[in-house]
């Protein structure tokens, strides 16, 4: 997840031939890019947002790290994402991992 402009990300990942995919409900993010490295698929979400029954949850890429100079979101924010999606098991796994750091 990043808030970097799409053009910057495409340039950074150009050697991996990223594919631009449209977000699917409940996601209303600005963009979704998929690329493959050594047979493993990676997705990068830009301007991450989720539409819930009652609101729109925008998750900023509060910097938890960087890759190739692009800011990436703090893992703590994913707890909010999983909670909003009703993914209680994933949320608990991530909470436990964060508590153990």
| Tens-digit pLDDT profile for residues 82-93 | 888 889 999 999
3-state secondary structure 16-84: HCCEEECCCCCECCCEEEEEEECCEEEEEEECCEEECCCCEEECCCCEEEEECCEEEECCHHHHHHHHH
Asked, for residue 93, whether it belongs to a domain, the answer is no
Asked, for residue 80, whether it belongs to a domain, the answer is no
Domain span including residue 66: 6-74
Specify the pTM. Answer: 0.68
Residue 72 has pLDDT above 80, yes or no: no
pLDDT band at 101 (very low <50, low <70, confident <90, very high): low
pLDDT band at 22 (very low <50, low <70, confident <90, very high): confident
Asked, for residue 48, whether it belongs to a domain, the answer is yes
- The pLDDT score that the predictor gives to residue 69 is 81
Asked, for residue 83, whether it belongs to a domain, the answer is no
Q: How many domains does the chain have?
A: 1
């Amino acid at each position: 997840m990043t808030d970097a402009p799409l053009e910057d990300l495409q340039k950074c990942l150009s050697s991996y031939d990223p594919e631009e995919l449209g977000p699917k409900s409940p996601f209303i993010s600005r963009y979704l890019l998929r690329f493959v490295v050594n047979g493993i698929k990676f997705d990068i979400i830009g301007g991450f947002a989720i539409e819930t029954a009652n609101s729109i949850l925008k998750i900023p890429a509060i910097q938890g790290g960087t890759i190739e100079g692009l800011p990436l979101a703090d893992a703590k924010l994913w707890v909010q994402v999983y909670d909003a999606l009703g993914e209680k098991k994933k949320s608990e796994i991530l909470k436990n991992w964060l508590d153990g750091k």
